[in-house]
Amino acid sequence: MTSLSALDDRIQRLIDRSVDVGYETAVQVAVFHGGDQVVDAVAGLADPDTGAAAATDTLFFAASTAKGIASIVAHALVERGSLDYSMRLADVWPAFGAHGKIDVTLEHVLLHTAGVPFPPAGVDVPTLCDWNRMCEALAATPPAWKAGVRLGYHAVTFGFLLGETVRRATGRTLSDWLKEIVSEPLGVAPHVHFGVPNVHLARVAQQVELKPAPQPAVGSPMDRALPLAIRPDARYANDRGVLSAEIPSQGVMSATGAAAVYASVLGQFPAHRPIGPERLRRMAEVRLRTFDVVAEIDSAWAFGFAPYRPAADAATPGSCFGMVGMNGSAAYADIDSDVAVAVMRNRFDPTSFSTIEHVDRLVRETYPGSRARADEGATE
């Protein structure tokens, strides 16, 4: 249901200015609140070469923003009884137990503590797009640490570990389950993908890169987790083979599609709620606060999600869950203020998150539920 608000006007002006001054090429923003889509804004060019304008149904490469969607599918499958957080990957994927990985569980994967953050040596784009080759190589890989002992961002491997576990346990892929229990019931199946069907490839915006992104130090953990041959940039994100491959650590989506998925998890559409309220709170709970040995920063994780909003201190702990992608896309929900938000863009710049921060500040000002709760707690 769409009921556009004054917030829609404010965000439209914001992204129009961002495009006009050359800070953005194209931007989409969608916000749901209380079961209504209150923002459906778009600005700029989906393809600067042809002059094609972005539309509300344009699809955007969303990088790690898709990890949040993948985690939602996993939690929905647990809700159905098809998966269990404590299940060992090796119980359904015997080869994965090699080299001491026998105790890795679904929970470890969702929390990035599985100890398998590094893709196989020599991985390139054709290998990345070959599901069986990637999974066979990961099964044969020794762990970097014992499961549960350390946190380390599984930038690429997350989607393969989760996806192959789902496929072996249920006989169906993450994409299959995304459609059946999440996106099709919501009517957004054409708008949220891990791998884009050929029929939708023409709707994907062209990513634009104006300057080289900063690179991790050669040999560093992040360099190993995101090898140069498969490190996302605009050229990678525009590769039709990459876009169409099943790589659930990344995805392609519209802002409305992604935000609708998060809104459904909040229970904004009672007829299509993939996850119950008890599990919702468990998903958003901050599970880890520790040093990330791959990203080499102090980090916090909810149960398969980042536990923060793009604007600083916009959410209370345990209220927000979502993911931000390295190209500046984002999709997240805030339980206390009952908002689901997604921002998509095609200016590929891992150093620039200003647009999503400004959008989130406007959303927080309009729907300050999380801030209100924080203020109440301070006075009790």
> CA nearest 25: which of 207, 203, 204, 239?
207
Instruction: Report which secondary-structure segment, H or E, holds 240.
Output: helix 240-244
Tens digits of residue pLDDT in 238-264: 999 999 999 999 999 999 999 999 999
Residues of the domain holding 249 = 6-379
Please count the other Cβ atoms lying within 10 Å of the Cβ belonging to residue 277.
11
Instruction: Mark residue 317 as left, alpha or beta (left: phi above 0; alpha: psi -120 to 50; beta: remaining).
Output: beta
Amino acid sitting at position 158: F
Q: Tell me what pLDDT residue 60 has.
A: 98
Q: Is residue 315 part of a domain?
A: yes
Instruction: Dump the DSSP string for 83-97.
Output: --TT-BHHHHSGGGG
| Position 1 confidence tier, pLDDT thresholds 50, 70, 90 | low
Q: Is residue 355 part of a domain?
A: yes
Q: Is residue 325 part of a domain?
A: yes
pTM score above 0.85:
yes
Token duo for residue 356: 């999503």
Q: Is residue 1 part of a domain?
A: no
| Dist CA 211 CA 277 (whole Å) | 44
- Extended strands (E) in 60-174: 60-61
> CA nearest 73: which of 169, 160, 182?
182
What is the chain's mean pLDDT, rounded?
94
Is the pLDDT score of 374 beyond 50? Answer: no
Is the pLDDT score of 65 beyond 50? Answer: yes
Q: Is residue 270 part of a domain?
A: yes
The count of structural domains within the chain is: 1
Tens digits of residue pLDDT in 77-114: 999 999 999 999 999 999 999 999 999 999 999 999 99
Q: Is residue 243 part of a domain?
A: yes
| Dist CA 23 CA 238 (whole Å) | 20
> CA nearest 310: which of 339, 275, 267, 346?
339
| Dist CA 314 CA 278 (whole Å) | 23
Q: Tell me what pLDDT residue 371 has.
A: 42
Tens digits of residue pLDDT in 164-207: 999 999 999 999 999 999 999 999 999 999 999 999 999 999 99
CATH number for the domain harbouring residue 292: 3.40.710.10
Please count the other Cβ atoms lying within 10 Å of the Cβ belonging to residue 205.
27
